[in-house]
Amino acid sequence: MHELSIAQNIVEIIHARVREDELANVRSVKLRVGTFSGVVPHSLKFCYEALIADTGLNHSRIDIETVSFVIKCSDCSKQSNVDNGFALCPSCGSRKTMIVSGNELDIVEIILQENQAEHA
Amino acid sequence: MSIVTIERKILEKNDAIARHNRDLIASKDIFCINLISSPGAGKTSILEQTLVYLDGTINVQIIEGDVQTDFDARRLERYNVPVVQIVTNGGCHLEASLVADAMQSLDFSGLQLLIIENVGNLVCPAAYDLGEAVKVVVTSVTEGEDKPLKYPLIFKNAGVMIINKIDLLPHLSFDLELLKRNALSINPSLKIFETSCGTKQGIAEWCEWLAEEVFVQA
């Protein structure tokens, strides 16, 4: 399953943006995952946890904001929450729709706790 | 607590390599397709029939992706085209970096059509841009009319759908029009071909479309 490859990308991004000596302070990595992204959230969590075990990131977890699949019709301008991938406007039947949300696969932010040593 | 704001796509690295692949391919006026299907739908057989029909009139090279073995590359090499085999050893999809590496082995002089045959998998390859001009999804009449609804991402991201094994229709209770309606409900602009590698039905239409796209790209 490709969630492992996605999790590897997340770990690489964290390493690129967080100093090595701060990795142990990473507590949560917030993701935005659309229901039409092709990624299964609990599989992604499973793969991430497997990857970070026994590494400097092993105090971190991923938090996933799920975004539902919404399309907008160019003909009647209505926005509709439809089954994943469906392209026909449920209001007027038009084929001229565009995806408003639901295909996101983003890393939003990384949250670190403060270094305990700074408060010693 | 401190927050490091990222707001980037997780697959940004793959997308950047895919863009690089796409730029390289386009700079040489090559038309590139990414052929995707579940295992056994007939990707390699369709490629064999394509090579027979084109008969050397178009300069074709193939990047062949499989989990194990080079069986498919060896099948295709019999038609006198260069084939670069990628063995993923368990990887369920091709990524842009693998294609970039494979492209180092291509002979670009005169190359007109680059075909990437992806690993047999209808799920994961849908999410990975390899740098192709168009994703082609192959489905067969032994797979069920509801495939596009069950696997909407690949049908949404593809530009072309090939419905294969149509010679078997008399032996099946398969509703071809329902399959097409389902596919078009996910992707109204999907171009659809119907083929049989056994009877060669539809192969000419598919190949003529390929030739037109190669001509437009040049």
pLDDT the model gives residue B89: 81
State both tokens at A26: 């990473």
Interchain contact, A105 vs B3, CB within 8 Å: no
Mean of the pLDDT values across residues B153-176?
97
Residue of A nearest to B2 (CA): A112
Give the separation between CA A30 and CA A111, rounded to whole angstroms: 8
Percentage with pLDDT > 90 across chain B: 89
What is the per-residue pLDDT across A67-81, written as a single tens digit (0 to 9) for each?
999 999 999 999 999
pLDDT the model gives residue B69: 82
Single out the residue of B166, B139, B132 nearest to residue B155, CA to CA: B139
* A59–chain B Cβ distance below 8 A for any pair: no
pLDDT the model gives residue A117: 55
Which residue in the set B6, B93, B188 is minimally distant from A13, CB to CB?
A: B6
Interchain contact, A37 vs B127, CB within 8 Å: yes
* A93–chain B Cβ distance below 8 A for any pair: no
Tokens 């039409």 sit on residue: A36
Residues of chain A found within 8 Å of residue B89, distances taken between Cβ atoms: none
A119: pLDDT strictly greater than 50: no
What is the per-residue pLDDT across A9-51, written as a single tens digit (0 to 9) for each?
999 999 999 999 999 999 999 999 999 999 999 999 999 999 9
Indicate the residue type of A40. V
pLDDT the model gives residue A63: 97
For helices B12-27 and B96-103, angle between their N-to-C axes, nearest 10 degrees: 30
* B111–chain A Cβ distance below 8 A for any pair: no
Rounded-to-5 percentages of helix, strand, coil across chain B: 40, 20, 35
Chain B closest CA to A54's CA: distance in Å?
23
Single out the residue of B132, B136, B97, B108 nearest to residue B23, CA to CA: B132
Give the separation between CA B174 and CA B172, rounded to whole angstroms: 5
Chain A closest CA to B81's CA: distance in Å?
31
Chain A closest CA to B92's CA: distance in Å?
6
Mean of the pLDDT values across residues A1-7?
89
What is the per-residue pLDDT across A84-117, written as a single tens digit (0 to 9) for each?
999 999 999 999 999 999 999 999 999 999 865 5
Interchain contact, B153 vs A31, CB within 8 Å: no
What is the per-residue pLDDT across B69-110, written as a single tens digit (0 to 9) for each?
888 888 888 999 999 998 888 889 999 999 999 999 999 999
A120: pLDDT strictly greater than 80: no
Interchain contact, A105 vs B127, CB within 8 Å: yes
* A47–chain B Cβ distance below 8 A for any pair: no
Average pLDDT across chain B, whole number: 95
DSSP category for residue B160: E
Residues of chain A found within 8 Å of residue B92, distances taken between Cβ atoms: 1-2
Give the separation between CA A14 and CA A16, rounded to whole angstroms: 5
**Do residues B84 and B61 make contact, with C-beta atoms less than 8 angstroms apart?**
yes
Interchain contact, B6 vs A88, CB within 8 Å: no
β-pairing verdict for B134-140 and B31-37: parallel
* B90–chain A Cβ distance below 8 A for any pair: no
Interchain contact, B10 vs A9, CB within 8 Å: yes
Please, what is the end-to-end C-alpha distance for chain B in angstroms?
Answer: 55
pLDDT the model gives residue B88: 84
What is the per-residue pLDDT across B124-146, written as a single tens digit (0 to 9) for each?
999 999 999 999 999 999 999 99
Residues of chain B found within 8 Å of residue A83, distances taken between Cβ atoms: 149, 152
